[in-house]
Amino acid sequence: MIRRSAFIALLLAAASVHAQQSAPQQQEAGKPATQPPPEQQQPASPPVTPPSPATEAQPTQPVQAEPPAVPATPAPQVEIVDRVVGKGKEATLGSNVAVNYTGWLHKPLAPKQRGRKFDSSLDAGRTPIEFQLGAGRVIKGWEQGVAGMKVGGKRTLIIPSALAYGKRGAGGVIPPDADLIFDVELMDVK
């Protein structure tokens, strides 16, 4: 609506200027018209067509603005930092893997970005976790972060809450919407 009104006002102003410029020429209509030499001529401007009176007389309907397009939000991704690149067999979808890990709440301003530790397979009496990669037995962040590792490799995975436990959290240990950070080591691929 505003753009249309501004455009009409611009057209009317251009038509007014055009009319003022052509008025002296009409007064001298009795004289033969002469053209200046080509080097003094100004480039021709496109003709401006004023809006028809029928268009101006009609009340304009309010234009319903479309809701602004929401930019596509990129899918959350795991931030992967390789600490040691392994030299053994690679973990691929469908393979059974054994992984040692320690998990903390992610606190970006804390030393090493690690908040409170909530779990570790390295604690006394614990063993590496074993699971089939791609079977959905672990959080999505682990599926993405362990895939492509080679036996002997060590990674730090910074996992956004959407790829961890999301709004539900995990028991009383991981609060809702918590980002997590894990240090993982791929021990075996079968």
Distances (CA, A) of 33 to 17, 38, 45: 21, 15, 20
pLDDT band at 72 (very low <50, low <70, confident <90, very high): confident
pLDDT, residue 171, reads: 86
Catalytic site residues?
101, 118-119, 139, 165, 182
Residue type, 21: Q
Given a cut of 50, whether residue 5 has pLDDT beyond it is no
pLDDT band at 14 (very low <50, low <70, confident <90, very high): very low
Looking at the domain covering 79-189, what would its CATH class be?
alpha beta
Given a cut of 80, whether residue 27 has pLDDT beyond it is no
pLDDT, residue 32, reads: 47
High-pLDDT (> 90) share of the chain, %: 58
pLDDT band at 7 (very low <50, low <70, confident <90, very high): very low
Residue 9 class from Cβ within 10 Å (0-12 exposed, 13-18 middle, 19+ buried)? exposed
Lowest mean pLDDT among 34-38, 89-93, 161-165: 34-38
Provide the residue ranges of all domains of the chain, joining segments of one domain with +. 2-57, 79-189
Residue 188 class from Cβ within 10 Å (0-12 exposed, 13-18 middle, 19+ buried)? middle
Nearest to 155 by CA among 95, 99, 98: 99
CB distance 154 to 84 below 8 Å:
yes
Cα(120)–Cα(128) distance, rounded to whole angstroms?
Answer: 9
Mean per-residue pLDDT over the chain, rounded: 80
Per the model's pLDDT, the better-predicted residue between 125 and 36 turns out to be: 125
Query: What residues contact residue 20 under an 8 Å CB cut-off, 6+ apart?
Result: none
Residue type, 102: T
Torsions phi, psi of 61, nearest 5? -80, 140
User: pLDDT tens digits for 122-172?
Assistant: 999 999 999 999 999 999 999 999 999 999 999 999 999 999 999 999 988
